[in-house]
Amino acid sequence: MKKKALITGITGQDGAYLSELLLEKGYEVHGIKRRASLFNTARIDHLYQDPHEEDLRFILHYGDLTDSTNLIRIIQEVQPDEIYNLGAMSHVQVSFDAPEYAADADGLGTTRILEAIRILGLQEKTRFYQASTSELYGLVQEVPQRETTPFYPRSPYAVAKLYAYWITVNYREAYNMYACNGILFNHESPLRGETFVTRKITRAVAKIALGLQDKVYLGNMDAKRDWGHAKDYVKGMYLMLQQDQAEDFVLATGVTTSVRDFVRMSFREIGVELEFKGEGINEVGIVSSSSNPDYALQAGSEVVAVDPQYFRPTEVDLLIGDPSKAKAKLGWEPSYDLQALCSEMVAADIELFKRDQVLKAAGFEVKNEFE
Assess 108 for contact with ligand NDP (CB under 6 A). Answer: no
Answer yes or no whether residue 334 interacts with ligand NDP by CB under 6 A: no
186 binds ligand NDP (CB under 6 A): yes
Task: From the list ligand GDR, ligand NDP, none, pick the one residue 6 interacts with, judged by a Cβ distance below 5 to 8 Å according to partner type.
Answer: none
Residue 38, CA distances (Å) to 1, 8, 41, 302 in order: 36, 19, 9, 35
Q: Are 253 and 227 in contact (CB under 8 A)?
A: yes
Q: Determine the Cα–Cα distance for residues 247 and 239; give it in Å rounded to an integer.
A: 11
Convert 29-52 to b/e letters by CB count within 10 Å (16 or more is b): bbbbbbeeeeeebebbeebeeeee
Residues lying near ligand GDR in the complex (CB under 6 A):
90, 92-93, 133-135, 186, 195-197, 200, 218-220, 223, 225, 259, 310, 312, 315-316
Q: How far is CA 253 from the centre of its chain?
A: 15
Q: For ligand NDP, how many residues bind (rule: CB under 6 A)?
A: 26
The answer to the question of residue 12 lying near ligand NDP (CB under 6 A) is yes
11 belongs to the binding site for ligand NDP (CB under 6 A): yes
Residues 6 or more apart in contact with residue 100 via CB below 8 angstroms: none
Least distance to ligand GDR from the beta carbon of 294, Å? 27
Binding partner selected for residue 195 from ligand NDP, ligand GDR, none, CB under the kind-specific 5 to 8 Å limit: ligand GDR
Which among ligand GDR, ligand NDP, none contacts residue 202 (Cβ within 5 to 8 A by kind)?
Answer: none
List the catalytic residues: 133, 135, 157
**Judged by CB under 6 A, does residue 254 bind ligand NDP?**
no
Gap between the Cα atoms of 246 and 49, Å rounded: 33
Partners of 128 in beta bridges? 83, 179
Q: Please state, in angstroms and rounded to a whole number, the distance separating the CA atoms of residues 270 and 208.
A: 10
Site string for ligand NDP, 85-104 (x = CB under 6 A): -xxxxx--------------
Residue 15 binding: pick among ligand GDR, ligand NDP, none (C-beta 5-8 Å cut-off by kind): ligand NDP
Helix (H, G, I), strand (E, B) or coil at 228: strand
Q: Which residue is nearest to ligand GDR (CB)?
A: 223
Applying the rule CB under 6 A, the residues between 30 and 49 that interact with ligand NDP are 32, 34, 36, 40
- Scanning 6-14, 208-216, 236-244, 322-330 for contacts with ligand NDP by CB under 6 A, the matching segment is 6-14
Q: What are phi and psi of 25, to 5 degrees?
A: -85, 5
Cα separation, 248 vs 213, in Å, equals 43
**Is residue 9 within the footprint of ligand NDP (CB under 6 A)?**
yes
Classify the phi-psi angles of 194: left when phi > 0, otherwise alpha if psi is within -120 to 50, otherwise beta.
Answer: alpha
Residues that bind ligand NDP (CB under 6 A): 8-9, 11-15, 32, 34, 36, 40, 64-66, 86-90, 105, 131, 133, 184, 186-187, 193
